[in-house]
Amino acid sequence: MKIAIIGTGYQGLVTGTCFAENGHRVVCMDRDADRIALLKRGIPPIHEPGLEELIIRNMEEERLSFTPDLGDAIRDSLMIFLCVGTPADEAGNTDLSGIFEVSRHIAEAMDGYRIIVNKCTCPPGTAEQLEEIFHTHTGHPVDVVVNPDFMKEGSAVDDFLRPDRVLIGCREIRVNEIMKEMYGPFLRTGKPLLVMSPRSAEMAKYATNVMLATRISVMNQLADVCEPCGADISEVREAVGADGRIGPTFLFPGIGFGGSGLPRDLAVCERLAAEHQVPHDLLSAVRAVNEGRRARFLRQILDYYGDSICEKKIALWGASFKARTDDIRGAPALFIIDGLCQAGAAVTVYDPVAAGKLADRYGDAITIAAKYYGALEGADGLVIVTEWNEFRRPDYARMGEVMREKVIFDGRNLYTPAIMEANGFRYFSIGRKPV
């Protein structure tokens, strides 16, 4: 079957490539001509483990192609997957203008029946608004299906090929059979395909992210309780996560979650609750705890150096909002970099893959190091922001040799305090006594 992907960003590119990997003929469309030009040369504009090999293989097999032309993409494609951005402002108002505009253009270009699969994260009721747009702008029949995506950047290919579940929000049995056929190969291990109302499917995406955000905020607040009590949150986390009712994932304390998903989905849920005049104090608390994390961490760094911060060189390890991605949208690192720069510190950052995106954002305002020990040369302190694997077991002696002052602020609890103390570092971490 030929399918069209509209919007070839993190989600669209992974979705299109994984469907091609299963034998479908996929055309990925994006209005960003530079992005399409790169992809036509087999170069992914994003960093996602395993993606490049799949893109190249499926291009060579002529199952995967890229175009800036909407008409080309949707011609003969029974299924059209919507994968454009749906950002929200801080008050949780979702900007649906992009998905509405692209739907209008698709409707105007359609030459027959189409199944419109909305993979974008959208508030409940959006599918009905999309149906309305299609009915207004084309005489051809359409079915709109809600099919939210749960992939995680950094393991998106694996998540797509082996999902925990697939969600389908649609009332048409015939369309649901086609969706089951599409996703069947990904569900061979017996993971469920859940069919529900479009509104429930739309809400389930937000609910999942709110639940994940809540776990992180609870652990972060527990970390603050552990520290004065003389307990170590890393040990406490292991005990909590070993409980079968709780499980070990999304329990890592740190400087708060970022990215383009969790903070937005929390804000949108708060907004929906407020609009419908139902309580949302728990959601607001989860958000407030999260926003407080990065501010608290920055304050700890600034307090340590006091007025001398403007003479200091501070190194950051990591900038992406989490490991294994180059995405810096909503990354805590940006808050830390901005705060340090405003205080007058000279900031040098090393990130294994996000250097390009950092350079686009900061230009000459910061130094971007090409090597991770290089970032430490002459540094008066190291701030660990992202939990990249290569930061986990560094050569402490070498670090100490190149740094001017042996101070580490670890926002990810990568090291053991006693080992850092033995190596002569001042070491500040999360929910554990500083040494």
Q: Minimum distance between the CB of residue 257 and ligand NAD, rounded to whole angstroms?
A: 13
- Let me know: does 400 contact 414? Beta carbons within 8 Å: no
Q: Minimum distance between the CB of residue 149 and ligand NAD, rounded to whole angstroms?
A: 4
Q: Minimum distance between the CB of residue 386 and ligand NAD, rounded to whole angstroms?
A: 16
Does 42 help bind ligand NAD (rule: CB under 6 A)? no
- Other CB atoms within a 10 A radius of the CB of residue 185 amount to 13
Considering beta carbons, is residue 269 or 345 the nearer one to ligand NAD? Answer: 269
Contacting range for ligand NAD; rule: CB under 6 A; set: 94-102, 165-173, 371-379, 389-397? 94-102
Interface characters, 105-134, with ligand NAD (x: CB under 6 A): --------------xxx-------------
φ and ψ at 167, to 5 degrees? Answer: -110, 130
Considering beta carbons, is residue 9 or 241 the nearer one to ligand NAD? Answer: 9
Does 400 help bind ligand NAD (rule: CB under 6 A)? no
Q: Minimum distance between the CB of residue 102 and ligand NAD, rounded to whole angstroms?
A: 4
Q: Minimum distance between the CB of residue 8 and ligand NAD, rounded to whole angstroms?
A: 5
Does 71 help bind ligand NAD (rule: CB under 6 A)? no
Considering beta carbons, is residue 262 or 414 the nearer one to ligand NAD? Answer: 262
Q: Which of 48, 143, 153, 232 binds ligand NAD (CB under 6 A)?
A: 153
What's the DSSP call for residue 333? Answer: H
Buried b or exposed e, range 247-277, using 16+ CB within 10 angstroms: eeebbbbbbbbbbbbbbbbbbbbbbbbeeee
φ and ψ at 238, to 5 degrees? Answer: -60, -40
Does 102 help bind ligand NAD (rule: CB under 6 A)? yes
Q: Which of 4, 11, 280, 289 binds ligand NAD (CB under 6 A)?
A: 11
Does 21 help bind ligand NAD (rule: CB under 6 A)? no
The whole-angstrom separation of Cα 323 and Cα 352 is 9
Grouping H, G, I as helix, E, B as strand and the rest as coil, residue 410 is strand
| Helix axes 126-137 and 198-229, enclosed angle (nearest 10) | 150
- Let me know: does 82 contact 98? Beta carbons within 8 Å: no
Kindly report the CA angle at 284 between 278 and 288, in degrees rounded to 5?
175
- Let me know: does 392 contact 414? Beta carbons within 8 Å: yes
Contacting range for ligand NAD; rule: CB under 6 A; set: 79-87, 176-184, 233-241, 250-258? 79-87
Does 6 help bind ligand NAD (rule: CB under 6 A)? yes
Does 9 help bind ligand NAD (rule: CB under 6 A)? yes
Q: Give the CA count within 13 Å in the CB-facing half-sphere of 62.
A: 0
Q: Minimum distance between the CB of residue 86 and ligand NAD, rounded to whole angstroms?
A: 4
The whole-angstrom separation of Cα 418 and Cα 66 is 53
Contacting range for ligand NAD; rule: CB under 6 A; set: 10-18, 277-285, 298-306, 419-427? 10-18
The whole-angstrom separation of Cα 130 and Cα 99 is 9
First-last CA distance in the chain: 61
Element (H, E) at 367: strand 367-368
Considering beta carbons, is residue 49 or 85 the nearer one to ligand NAD? Answer: 85
Does 35 help bind ligand NAD (rule: CB under 6 A)? yes
Considering only residues 249-268, where is the footprint of ligand NAD by CB under 6 A?
Answer: 260-261
Considering beta carbons, is residue 84 or 117 the nearer one to ligand NAD? Answer: 84
Q: Which of 31, 191, 296, 361 binds ligand NAD (CB under 6 A)?
A: 31
Does 149 help bind ligand NAD (rule: CB under 6 A)? yes
Nearest to 329 by CA among 110, 168, 141, 153: 153
Q: Minimum distance between the CB of residue 5 and ligand NAD, rounded to whole angstroms?
A: 9
Q: Which residue is nearest to ligand NAD (CB)?
A: 9
Does 84 help bind ligand NAD (rule: CB under 6 A)? yes
Q: What is the 3-state secondary structure (H, E, C) of 25-87?
A: EEEEECCCHHHHHHHHCCCCCCCCCCHHHHHHHHHHCCCEEEECCHHHHHCCCCEEEECCCCC
In the complex, the residues that contact ligand NAD under the rule CB under 6 A are 6-12, 29-32, 35, 83-86, 98, 101-102, 119-121, 149, 151, 153, 260-261
